[in-house]
Structure 1
């Protein structure tokens, strides 16, 4: 005879065609609910992981991990400061910069912009800018006077391409014969970059020499030193420690002040959405309870016969626990397979829908990236599937206990 008996009977009950089709429908609904819940959890957490990854790689690859500036004035002795900064073992690279806020105009179109004066060779060490040049070249900043590299979205908003002219307007007035006029400078577009984020619409880069001229600095003066750390999460603390170890009065800024709200929002949304979708799994588990309760009622006579043949209460419990657990296993495996497939293909699927129907789900004017990322992490998959299996198993205990409490004489009285 097939051993163990509980597994054999439980599998037979699951596979057998029931005369009560409503019970079969509830069993199928429980399985499908569990499958959809698991799949939705995997896909959504993968998308949230994708946003988290893109924030770290793209946004935090472009903006400084931390900066050190001299308190109240530009930095005149920046070479010695950079030398002291580079001695820290946690600093991967550093680079000087000059920054200015202003507006770029072309043919009546005006856009606000943050302009960075950089040294292209040093910038390669601290950012991913050089890896995302779309047109032109970053090195042209060293060879062409008053050249500018724009974000791709910014260039499209202004309607310019490489070789076109744009006017930079700084919010500093200059006294002239005509009175107070804003400071203007004409730049030639020498390149564009694209990182697929909101930074494409708000950043521009010029050479440090040109930046010093428009801000009326001496050639050996910069606004600060940009730092890149081996662990960006230690940037706030490490930057303060480095600044405190320097001679003079310096202040620090880091990515948690400029873009930390995005990271915190993604982490919070990941937890809350995960919790809400987890309720789908719980609903499916309650369906398993309902299914088994009805199966126990439908199989009272069979249970009574098994009891009269010597089946113990524990064996009866295991029969129905096998049946409910099998529903959970099938639903979880199907949901895991569906979720993994969607998580691996959802970026391409959404891009295809956008191209086919001419719609855009993520507008760069609203969201910090313009496409739907996905990052499938196997620990999340194992946690979700394992939790679903545990919940499915726990959902079988009460109905199985009800079945084990069946009294043979009462169940067979009217048979």
Structure 2
């Protein structure tokens, strides 16, 4: 073994508190607690931020496809049944949803709001559990019959709408009449409401039966968008090339493919930057604790100068002295890291219980669902990140005592015993 029994015994005894050296042991305890809290905080914060990312990604992809094939406003995909069938045969493709998309102005009494209309078939809408999970069965059955619209709860609240009310959709596309060009508008009944949990979708999205949308947006024989769901959203790039090649090989009309990563790049880049900044800031806790190890070891070496000199005169090599003091400092980092790992995982495993305890103690909600659309802290442990945190903490903890241990190994016995 690298560390012998004598070295381990001496390192352990140097960490024990004595009356005249109690301050050194106090520093060691606080260093261990600092590293444990730093590691635990990093693991908890990274898990919570991963949970937020997973929740947001789940809600975004519960409404939008992983890939979207879009055409120009003047063109439509008329052979979309055949194209959808060909896309479903590609590797890694799970769901293909032809649809008609368009922006409209929504009018209800004296209130107005902008909205995005998506015309989809009832079968394709049923494949989106995020959309249909909070719909009443009667509303979905009526939607399947093509009798009305589904709107988000946010839009219903802003326009003061209830089930059974009607809204008027105004299209930016003009209709030519004998009196000139006028905007096209039509009233539709509201069949029900959906709630995704994101304000952007709940307040500005409308779902319409595909046949009604084709008539309203003047695309009676085609669609202007096809959404594709793949088996792994994080590796959507491997499928987009095959889909684009399939489109170019079978179609002369221009079309473009947009994946969810590029469509939401600014949002998820902001989340990633925030995660990196939080990791950097919280890593300073571990760094400060490592400086405590460094200062404590310097004080230990200073106080043990006579013992080091006696060991050296008895024939102990420099390597033994270096290993003893390195082990005494590294042990603080090792046990602190392990304690922080256990504390962090225990906190994450009981995060709902702790949240309830804090809410009962303070009498306030930690996360107001009306603001954050979350009733509890989401936490997802990424074991790769956990091991990175542990490796970083151990690296810093093992580097900190090296300099004091090297200084102890270089101590001259004659100088140390001169005034004894």
Q: TM-score, normalised by structure 2?
A: 0.85
Residue in 2 that maps onto 1:221: 222
Rounded to whole Å, the distance in 2 between the matches of 1:359 and 1:157 is 26
Matched position secondary structure for 1:253: strand
Residue in 2 that maps onto 1:4: 5
1:241 aligns with 2:245: yes
Give how far 1:308 is off.
3.4
Residue in 2 that maps onto 1:97: 99
> Matches of residues 9-408 of structure 1 in structure 2 within 5 Å?
9-71=10-72, 72-125=74-127, 127-130=128-131, 132-135=133-136, 137-143=139-145, 145=147, 147-174=148-175, 182-197=183-198, 198-218=200-220, 220-232=221-233, 233-234=236-237, 235-254=239-258, 255-346=260-351, 356-357=363-364, 360=367, 372-408=377-413
Cα RMSD (Å) of the superposition? 3.1
Rounded to whole Å, the distance in 2 between the matches of 1:4 and 1:334 is 24
Give the stretch that moved more between structures: 129-138 or 84-93: 129-138
Give how far 1:121 is off.
0.7
Rounded to whole Å, the distance in 2 between the matches of 1:351 and 1:64 is 35
Rounded to whole Å, the distance in 2 between the matches of 1:13 and 1:90 is 60
Cα deviation digits, residues 116-165 of structure 1 (max 9, x gap):
1110212344x4444533545434312251x2222233333333343333
Q: 1:303 to 1:81 in 2, by over 3 A?
A: same
1:69–1:75 contact (8 Å) kept in structure 2: no
2:64–2:227 contact (8 Å) kept in structure 1: no
Give the stretch that moved more between structures: 264-273 or 247-256: 264-273
Give how far 1:208 is off.
0.9
Q: 1:245 to 1:177 in 2, by over 3 A?
A: closer
Rounded to whole Å, the distance in 1 between the matches of 2:273 and 2:241 is 23
Q: TM-score, normalised by structure 1?
A: 0.86
**Matched residues, number:** 408
Q: 1:92 to 1:401 in 2, by over 3 A?
A: same
Give how far 1:189 is off.
2.6
Rounded to whole Å, the distance in 1 between the matches of 2:135 and 2:37 is 41
Give how far 1:31 is off.
1.9
Rounded to whole Å, the distance in 2 between the matches of 1:369 and 1:199 is 15
Structure 1 unaligned blocks of 5 or more:
none
Cα deviation digits, residues 74-116 of structure 1 (max 9, x gap):
2223223223333323322212101121233445443322111
Give how far 1:13 is off.
1.6
Structure 2 unaligned blocks of 5 or more:
none
